[in-house]
Amino acid sequence: MIEWAVNGDILHATDADNAELTVNGSDLTVAPSDIDIPRPVDETVVVTTDELRFPHAVVYAFSLGLDEQYELDPAGEPLTLSPGEYVVDIDTEIKAYLRFSGAVRIERTDDYEEIVVSFPNRTRVILGLRCRHEFPAGTITVPDSPSAVADAITHMAASQKTDNPDRSYPTLRGHPSLIERGDTLEISDCIRSDTPDHGIELVVPPDYESLFVTAPLAYYLQATVRTTDDALGRRTGSGTVRPRLRLVDRAIETELSPMPDLERDVERLLRKTFFLDCLVRNAGPYATSLSELSLLEALEIDAETLYEASPQDRLATYLDVPYAAIKHRLPEWHLSTYVAPEYASVETIPFLLDRLSMIYTPRTSELEGRELVERSLEDFYRGDDPDRERTKRRSGSDATRASAGRVASVDIVKPDLRSGRTHGWLADGVPIDVFKSAPAAYHNRLEFLERESDSTSICVVLNDPEMAGEHDHVAEIYRQRSEELTMDITVEESLETAALARLLEDDHDFVHYIGHCETGGLCCPDGTLAASSLDRCRAQTFFLNACGSFYEGRALIEKGSVAGAVTVTKVLNDHAVKVGSTFAKLLVHGFSIERAMGLARRRIMMGKDYAVVGDGTHSLTQGEHEPPTTVTLEELPDEGDEEYLLGVDCYSTRATGSYYYPHTETNEYAYLCGNESTFRLTASELVTMLKETEASVIYDGDIYWSKELWPRFDQ
């Protein structure tokens, strides 16, 4: 669902996931349209103008008459096309397509902030818009039966929009159907008819552990999942049957390891297949100059042939590629979720497949001695920290955010983490280094997507006047961002329990609470408010920046929220200010809750005191550049000229398969998200890059925002 409105020469579009697109025109006129455009779109309008300006994006142009494709040079050279009929693909956060007849010039502004599409004369243009998020199509009911769950996982692939390598693009993988528990297996005819059958089968033991672990691979391969007892006609006495991957028409059968080594086999197969699809898809209509493409030649893979091949033939070729030959080039996998292998967990599977998460079996052990402290110090941004000694002591109640009352403590355990950049936990226990999710969080997210809103509502609550420093800082961050995105900012102080309850039960996209928390709940002038006492929480996301707020945050998730940041113990007040302000900045620039907290808490030595509850992959807003970018910067040893080593890290748990262009003067390539790119830059080149990139920058033991940091190097 996309809503659009026109204000003067500005067209503003918003989708159900709070993504926004602003298009500026010259003497712009806009009208609704039902004219088709040869691309999948959710909304079309007719615009008449001689110039359109979009946010910075990757741009392709396709000649409908000559069947030719063009790409706007990422280095900045304009694209000029002679008169003809074209479709222009502009990869903004809300996908945009332009269809028109005539000549056109497409270029980037000097600061790389905008894409300008200009015509010789006023031209009638069909503007098509597509939401990147899709609601689940229908619901599958499953009984407590592994074979029934196998059928349900098979039909998850009905949401995908293609079976060629373009399925590696996040916009061509829809949200799978929901799964609910019931007495009998129920799959609608619509879902059955949309489920592909490519003759690819995954045969796994009839247990939830194996089914959950193989679900991401089955979903991406669009494979039919069968349990070994069904596949073998329920024969007995045949011994243990190992899981296997079958290509029926090719008579190829690959035997996989039993659990727990099945996890490793699935991870390698999925990462390899996905990565090679990302390379082979460049033989299709959406090619780009990926830095990783040279690997195809080394592997002697013919991309043109494979792009047109059947899913079985393409997979057969991929299976012949040794994992060792590509593992050093694989992007780090974006997300892994640890799920209790039981019937009650089946409802979470579609949400994890929507994010293309790896699924693992949860295993934990106790943290030993000072291990929690040591792991905090390992993640700390190493630089001069005036609070270092005070942090080590961690005594003196006046330095903490704790009140005189009792603060809830949390027993933290050590998880056995496997491959992945971000980790989620859907099982018992509260592990370190993961976000603690819950089935309710994913269902709550769907409810918020259905809520119509013209702006992002943010409320800052200060319930202790002595903490006004953080309050003033974060409120200013939100106000500054509201000048660029549609945000409604409110500030409240000293709310009593009834008023705070009403605030949490009202519609807000984000609530930033600054104050105290005790075992009885969030502290107010007249007592404490227990989140469990709320009728319903309508705060989509939150930050409870108070000592020991974990249990209150978890209760907010159960009452209706999607995700939030919390603390697991007492925290120092000045540390809370550091984390709170950085978290606020990252959150409103499109970072997910988990990634924003992961970066923010590294500013302090005891960062492990902060955690995320709910769906940590959720984002409050979308930034100018999706996915969000983090830059690491260090000075190189003095060799005459001042130079810097710059690393660019761009990834998102929501957009796996995307790519990014680093804005350095000499760069000619795009990089797959999850692969870091590095560059050696002079001071002047660094200044240009920081000016043209909206990014968090890790430098000299702290984290900055690029637009605030560049003047330091402009000499």
pLDDT digits (tens, 9 = 90+) for 269-310: 999 999 999 999 999 887 888 999 999 999 999 999 999 999
Q: Which of 173, 157, 176 is closest to 165 using CA atoms?
A: 173
The pair of structure tokens assigned to 134 is 């899709």
Q: Give 160's DSSP letter.
A: B
Query: Is the per-residue pLDDT at 235 higher than 60?
Result: no
Distances (CA, A) of 39 to 55, 65, 91, 128, 195: 20, 16, 13, 8, 22
Work out the average pLDDT over 616-638: 83
Q: What whole-number distance in Å separates Cα of residue 455 and Cα of residue 636?
A: 44
Q: Which residues pair with residue 24 across a beta bridge?
A: 10, 53
SS (H, E, C) 131-168: CCCCCCCCEEEECCCHHHHHHHHHHHHHHECCCCHHHH
- Give all strands (DSSP E) within 463-609, no chain letters: 487-493, 508-514, 517-518, 521-524, 527-529, 539-545, 563-567
Q: What whole-number distance in Å separates Cα of residue 306 and Cα of residue 329?
A: 20
pLDDT digits (tens, 9 = 90+) for 197-215: 999 999 999 999 999 999 9
**Is residue 174 very low, low, confident or very high in pLDDT (cuts 50, 70, 90)?**
confident
pLDDT at res. 601: 93
The share of the chain scoring above pLDDT 90, in percent, equals 69
Instruction: Give, for 147, the enclosing helix (H) or strand (E).
Output: helix 146-154
pLDDT at res. 237: 42
Q: What whole-number distance in Å separates Cα of residue 184 and Cα of residue 30?
A: 51
The pair of structure tokens assigned to 643 is 């130079």
∠ CA 680-681-687, rounded to 5°? 150
Give the position of tokens 């069947």: 67
**DSSP readout, 298-324?**
HHT--HHHHHHS-HHHHHHHHHTS-GG
Minimum mean pLDDT range among 41-45, 267-271, 419-423, 638-642: 638-642
**Is residue 19 very low, low, confident or very high in pLDDT (cuts 50, 70, 90)?**
confident
pLDDT at res. 623: 55
Work out the average pLDDT over 501-510: 96
pLDDT at res. 639: 65
Q: Which residues pair with residue 510 across a beta bridge?
A: 458, 541
Give the position of tokens 């000229």: 641
Helix (H, G, I), strand (E, B) or coil at 553: helix
pLDDT digits (tens, 9 = 90+) for 395-415: 333 467 777 678 898 999 999
| Mean of per-residue pLDDT scores for the chain | 90
Helix (H, G, I), strand (E, B) or coil at 8: coil
Q: How far out from the chain centre does Cα 354 lie?
A: 11
Q: What whole-number distance in Å separates Cα of residue 336 and Cα of residue 362?
A: 11
Number of alpha helices (DSSP H) and beta strands (DSSP E) in the chain: 19, 39
Instruction: Give, for 115, the enclosing helix (H) or strand (E).
Output: strand 114-130
**Is residue 134 very low, low, confident or very high in pLDDT (cuts 50, 70, 90)?**
low
Q: What whole-number distance in Å separates Cα of residue 340 and Cα of residue 346?
A: 10
Query: Is the per-residue pLDDT at 238 higher than 50?
Result: no
How long a stretch of residues is the chain? 715
Handedness of CA 337, 339, 341, 345 (dihedral sign): negative
Tell me the H-state helices in 201-252.
208-221, 228-231
pLDDT at res. 133: 62
Q: What whole-number distance in Å separates Cα of residue 540 and Cα of residue 459?
A: 11
Give the position of tokens 């028109």: 100
Query: Is the per-residue pLDDT at 371 higher than 80?
Result: no
